[in-house]
Amino acid sequence: MLNEGKTMDTIQIYPQMTPNPRSLKFILSKNVINEGKATFTSVEQCGDITLAKDIMSLPNVVQVYFFENMITVTQTEDEWDTLQQMVKSVIQTRMQVHNPDINLEAEKKKLRSQLPPEIQKIEEILDRTVRPGLQSDGGNIEVIKLEGKELLVKYEGACGGCPSSTSGTLYAIEDILKNEYDKEIFVTIQNPPASH
């Protein structure tokens, strides 16, 4: 059932499981965001983006993540049958009027160019080595700050509650940065996901 596509009014929706049992990604036949990514953790954060606001308003939903033609929905439960149908219904109706030219990343890109050189280097390494894999699983990683040898990061989308994000994935990220940036760096997570 989860990988079955649905067509109505030319929007095709393909739900797919992620490594996080509490996150489901919905691959669409149209982009939900043309540039960058967007993470919403409250209805208020959605502003006038009706698609995000209406998904965020569904029962148990705690995060909505947009990336290219993918929406990742994270909830507080592991059961998806009812919620999956509700999300698909919202997508079918709201995508007809949704504008994918959301530009939440423009300010972030501008700020990135003003970051210290060491953070810019870390961002470049993550863009090249880590982010493509996380994004294909419906998630991402954001650099919060570098203090001495400690890099504080925050997971987004499906990565935000994935059990492996605090172990295997974190160690892999740290290992890449040790090899390509600084052998003494260590990575910690802001608000690590609760284990379940």
Where residue 66 sits, what CATH number does that domain have? 3.30.1370.70
pTM across the whole model:
0.65
Backbone angles phi, psi at 176, to 5 degrees: -60, -45
Whether residues 12 and 90 fall in one domain: yes
Whether residues 69 and 21 fall in one domain: yes
Residue 7 has pLDDT above 50, yes or no: no
Torsion (CA) 107, 48, 23, 193 in degrees, nearest 10: 60
* Cα–Cα dist 65/41, whole Å: 9
Q: Is residue 65 assigned to a domain?
A: yes
> Which range of residues forms the domain containing residue 126?
115-189
Q: Domain total for the chain?
A: 2
The DSSP code for 195 is P
Task: Over range 108-120, report the average pLDDT.
Answer: 77
Cβ 135 vs Cβ 143: under 8 Å: no
The H-or-E segment that residue 159 falls in is none
pLDDT for 86 equals 97
